[in-house]
Amino acid sequence: MQELRANVYGRVQMVMFRDFVQRKARGLKLVGYVHNLADGSVAVVAQGERTALETLVERLHEGSILSKVEKVEVAWGEPAHTFRNFSIRY
């Protein structure tokens, strides 16, 4: 199991982006969370198999239908915490 940490920049708040990420992550059997940051970006922490995480990164670049993703910063590592599901944090 690996951990992905990503920050997504662009028009990614108020466009159903967090819901989009949650649905994609759950479909890939990943655990973790997604939440909005004060600077207008969105942070994603996901854990699971590397191939599923790589697929999620592809989906983050695509974004939701109303979003406009300009940049995705990705960092890989070992899981720091254990999650039970993939959630939206408020």
Confidence category of residue 5, pLDDT binned at 50, 70, 90:
very high
Instruction: Look up residue 28 and give its amino acid.
Output: L
Cα 75 from Cα 11, distance rounded (Å): 21
67 residue type, one letter: S
Residues marked as catalytic: 18, 36
pLDDT at residue 80 greater than cutoff 90: no
Q: What is the pLDDT of residue 62?
A: 97
Domains (range + CATH), the chain: 2-79 (3.30.70.100)
Taking only the tens place, the pLDDT of each residue in 24-70 is 999 999 999 999 999 999 999 999 999 999 999 999 999 999 999 99
Residue 20 φ then ψ, to 5°: -60, -50
* pLDDT at position 87: 98
First and final C-alpha spacing in the chain = 26
Q: What is the mean pLDDT of residues 4-33?
A: 98
